[in-house]
Amino acid sequence: MVSGRQEVLPPVLPGLDRAWSRSVTALDSQGVERTWHVLDTGSTPQQVGTLLCVHGNPTWSYLWRHLLARFSQSDALPWRVVAVDHLDMGFSERTGTVRGLAQRIADLGTVTDALGLTGPVVTVGHDWGGSISLGWALRHRDQLRGMVLTNTAVHQPSGSPAPALIRLAGLPGILPAATVWTPTFLQATLALANPRLPEPVRDGYLAPYRTPDRRAAIGGFVADIPLSPQHPSWSALEDVAQHLDTLAEVPALLLWGPRDPVFGDAHLRDLRARLPHARLHRFEGAGHLLAEDADVAGAVSQWLTDLDRPTPAPTATAEPAAAWRPLWAALAERSENRSAALVELAHRGRQVSWSLLWRRIQEIAAGLSASGVRRGDRVALLVPPGADLTAAVYACLRIGAVIVVADPGLGLAGMNRALRSAAPAHLIAVDRGLALARALRWPGRRFGAGPGAAVLGALTLGRLARLGAGNQDLPAAPDPDDDAAVLFTSGSTGPAKGAVYTHRQLAAMRDALAELGLGADARIVAAFAPFALFGPALGAASAIPDMKATAPRTLTASALAEATAAVDASAVFASPAALRNVVETGDTLDARQRTALEGVTLLLSAGAPVPTALLTRAQALMPKAQPHTPYGMTEVLPVTDITLDGIVDTGPGDGVCVGRPLPGVQVAIAALDTTGTPAEQSDPAPGPTGEIMVRAAHAKDRYDALWLTERASSRNPGWHRTGDVGYLDPDGQLWVQGRLAHVIVTSDGVLTPVGIEQRVESLPQVVRAAVVGVGPRGLAQVVVIVETLPPVRRAGLASRELADAVRAVAAPPVAAVFVVPSMPTDIRHNSKIDRTRLSRWAERVVAGGRLNGW
């Protein structure tokens, strides 16, 4: 029986409409009449189904108020939302009974029967409510349309201790004191929210639990967590866990907050293994109370939209997949070639021949296979560029393992986030990486590529090779459309994202690089870490200069010249930061080194915009070289290309001219409207500024564990939305004007930063400039931040003379001009200005904050 408004609710709770409150009275599975409190948006003739939301401990249905609000306020989302308070929880009846997991699952069925729910139903569960919702799903398959899980678990993985918060609260002497007699456990749970919950919202969660007798079930829920087979609820939980595979055809969505001390990476890995078909989005920075930390309601609404959208039928005109030549094909073809394939200048010019490299790859591949690395397993690689990394990468690819590449330049926090997100089953690392893996409890069985590996408990690459040398029966090669790699972005615009590539897509990237002039007859100096691995794939001899791979600006002119001489290089690939230090140390070159550099005929620089003046100075050191600046990103590289001559001939414009698309690449623009929002559809014709969209065979397959991000970037089938903004000129050349996130919307219209920055950087005293917006979108004020020559000692307002000069060339009105000692840059390329950080600093200063701490 369903009654009207539940009168025990406080008069006002933030975000909660009292019209949603209902009481449901029914006989439970033991024949006792019970009364449940539910929040219910109500049924309508238009509804297509019901979201059944199940809270955990020690929350109540207030947790789901954002979902209730989102779906009750939109005619475009015709789903009823029902959120149930468990008995003895929230504002449901206090029964005084002990109700284990099996009883809780039965109780939920009693409520849905009383409400007359007949399906389709999508369950939504959190914490202990996840297991309860899945138990209901298994008993109501005929009604089930989908499952949504947020930070929950159905199994405690072996070797993973129970959450510390649960273990502490569950101790016999502590359990009643922490959970019932005092609100300690409840308050500790609410403190996990990030950011901190507003006081009125915290009071909303506390409202049903003001006295010990109202909190009895909080302790009961903790006591009901089965940590051993002897626990009364163990069999009920095992029954749910063991039968999840029977729901393989039911759409599922996993939404996860990684900053969760209760349910961690091990629990997520377990859920992914049991529900491999589930969509997954990790909200970096979010934690246990995910519905408070992130837009769960928005994610669920988008997922439901896709759920009800019919899958388009394949078109008869779809292009056939291109022929696939494995990435290791050039290495296999040179298996008898004793000339140098790799030269490592950091290791006294160590040379590795093609024949030795291929033999080593096969041996390590066989050793990995014999050691239990299987097709589809993810293998993280924390090894600097060189022969060891090259051999390990191609060995993994050959046996179908998926390489995970997270540049150490991401920093320790970035690396930690990346590896936990990718969840590799194995890790190959030098000694420092192995030590970090142990200290930070990174997932994966460990293999070592350094002298201390054995001490750190890892099997070395040498041992793997010896193991493989005696048994080189390799497994069948992977299929072209199997996953091959997870490559992490630079993290310059937020947490680094893992871009997943298939074998076919990696091979297409190799072929696209060959279009830049990096054919098999090239000899390459790979001073840009991502391309140290592609020389062997291209069949080109490569030299890796003596530099710190994670700090491009450590490359000196002398180091570049020595690497060039080592392979008689015809091509150099270096980041802008590396090139800058090369030209600044050019006067240290001796005659032999200058002669070596004169043999270079192709200079490539990418990773960030490359100033024309820098290319000109670099060309003075390599006079026969034609400088190229290909444009691209981790998700698709390269996209376009332009030479220094092309840049000069084109002349200045509003942004950076990056040239024309490479063969097989399509570029289109989704125009920005007056609010700075890109259009849903694109146009390949010259026209206004908009988001740059790319279509290419070598574009990523998807983002890893970021379903929402992937959905946004690929919502136009076949196209990747880059997040960059720019335009196509009448000659078909692409101009890049910045990032979509950095577009400034003023009262006069939409502004992009790069063109303004270029004009400011034309001033003789300005080394670099950054343009950011301060204030609300639509009314933002333009602020210019500059790095000067000579550099200032501390950040502050620019002099009147400099500010006037900046305003004179900037064009749009400038609210303020600041000077800083040096620009904050992304830690991988050392080239991309961190405009987001500068914007936060400028916002604070303009509001009257301190100038330091930028």
Place of tokens 């996840």: 130
What are the residues whose beta carbons fall under 8 Å from the beta carbon of 391, sequence distance 6 or more?
357, 360, 361, 364, 461
User: To the nearest whole percent, how much of the chain has pLDDT over 90?
Assistant: 75
CA distance 539 to 368: 25
516-629 folds as Rossmann fold (3.40.50)
Q: How confident is residue 647, by pLDDT bands cut at 50, 70 and 90?
A: very high
pLDDT at 159 over 70: no
pLDDT at 248 over 90: yes
Q: How confident is residue 156, by pLDDT bands cut at 50, 70 and 90?
A: confident
Question: Which has the higher per-residue pLDDT, 577 or 174?
Answer: 577
Check residue 291 and report its DSSP letter.
H
Place of tokens 């649960």: 166
Q: How confident is residue 829, by pLDDT bands cut at 50, 70 and 90?
A: very low
- For the segment 47-75, the average pLDDT, to the nearest whole number, is 95
pLDDT at 345 over 50: yes
Q: Report how far apart, in Å, the C-alpha atoms of 571 and of each of 251, 286, 311, 560, 602 are.
A: 50, 45, 46, 11, 5
pLDDT at 124 over 70: yes
Query: In this predicted structure, what is the pLDDT of residue 322?
Result: 61
Tokens of 307: 């759920």
| Alpha-carbon torsion (286, 853, 768, 575), positive or negative | negative
Query: In this predicted structure, what is the pLDDT of residue 550?
Result: 75
Query: In this predicted structure, what is the pLDDT of residue 3?
Result: 56
CA distance 446 to 457: 8
pLDDT at 37 over 50: yes
Which of 678, 717, 715 minimizes the C-alpha distance to 302? 715
Q: Report how far apart, in Å, the C-alpha atoms of 159 and of each of 156, 224, 266, 443, 653 are.
A: 9, 21, 9, 12, 59
**3-class state of residue 22 by DSSP:** strand
pTM over 0.85: yes
pLDDT at 269 over 70: yes
Query: In this predicted structure, what is the pLDDT of residue 76?
Result: 79
**What is the CATH code for 743-846?**
3.30.300.30
pLDDT at 316 over 50: no
At the fourth CATH level, the homologous superfamily of domain 635-741 is Luciferase; Domain 3 (2.30.38.10)
What are the residues whose beta carbons fall under 8 Å from the beta carbon of 204, sequence distance 6 or more?
13, 14, 15, 16, 62
353-478 folds as Rossmann fold (3.40.50)
Query: In this predicted structure, what is the pLDDT of residue 831?
Result: 57
* CB neighbourhood size of 684 (10 A): 14
pLDDT at 318 over 50: no
CA distance 169 to 171: 6
pLDDT at 154 over 90: yes
| Model confidence pLDDT, tens digit, residues 361-378 | 999 999 999 999 999 999
Residue 78, burial from CB neighbour count under 10 angstroms (0-12, 13-18, 19+): middle
- For the segment 582-601, the average pLDDT, to the nearest whole number, is 96
pLDDT at 826 over 60: no
Q: For the chain, how long is the longest CA-to-CA vector?
A: 96
| Model confidence pLDDT, tens digit, residues 80-103 | 999 999 999 999 999 999 999 999
pLDDT at 513 over 60: yes
CA distance 513 to 664: 12
Query: In this predicted structure, what is the pLDDT of residue 444?
Result: 86
Check residue 677 and report its DSSP letter.
P
Burial 448-479 (b: 16+ CB within 10 A, else e): bbbeebeebebbbbbbbbebbeeeeebeeebe
Q: How confident is residue 760, by pLDDT bands cut at 50, 70 and 90?
A: very high
CA distance 749 to 782: 12
Which of 200, 178, 195 minimizes the C-alpha distance to 187? 178
Q: How confident is residue 846, by pLDDT bands cut at 50, 70 and 90?
A: confident
Distance of CA 742 to the CA centre of its chain: 19
Q: How confident is residue 312, by pLDDT bands cut at 50, 70 and 90?
A: low
Query: In this predicted structure, what is the pLDDT of residue 7?
Result: 47
Check residue 177 and report its DSSP letter.
I
- For the segment 163-173, the average pLDDT, to the nearest whole number, is 64
Pair 500, 405: CB distance under 8 Å:
no
pLDDT at 581 over 50: yes
Round the average pLDDT of the chain to a whole number and report it: 91
User: To the nearest whole percent, how much of the chain has pLDDT over 70?
Assistant: 94
Pair 84, 54: CB distance under 8 Å:
yes
CA distance 80 to 46: 10
- For the segment 430-454, the average pLDDT, to the nearest whole number, is 87
CA distance 550 to 532: 13
Pair 39, 69: CB distance under 8 Å:
no
Q: Report how far apart, in Å, the C-alpha atoms of 223 and of each of 86, 102, 641 are.
A: 16, 14, 63
Query: In this predicted structure, what is the pLDDT of residue 162?
Result: 66
- For the segment 766-775, the average pLDDT, to the nearest whole number, is 92
| CATH pick for 2-157+232-307 out of 3.40.50.1820, 3.40.50.720, 2.40.100.10, 3.40.50.1370 | 3.40.50.1820
Say which range, 61-65, 157-161, 626-630, has the weakest mean pLDDT. Answer: 157-161
Which residues of the chain does CATH 3.40.50.980 include? 353-478, 516-629
Q: How confident is residue 692, by pLDDT bands cut at 50, 70 and 90?
A: very high
- For the segment 627-643, the average pLDDT, to the nearest whole number, is 95
Distance of CA 311 to the CA centre of its chain: 26
Query: In this predicted structure, what is the pLDDT of residue 5?
Result: 47
pLDDT at 729 over 80: yes
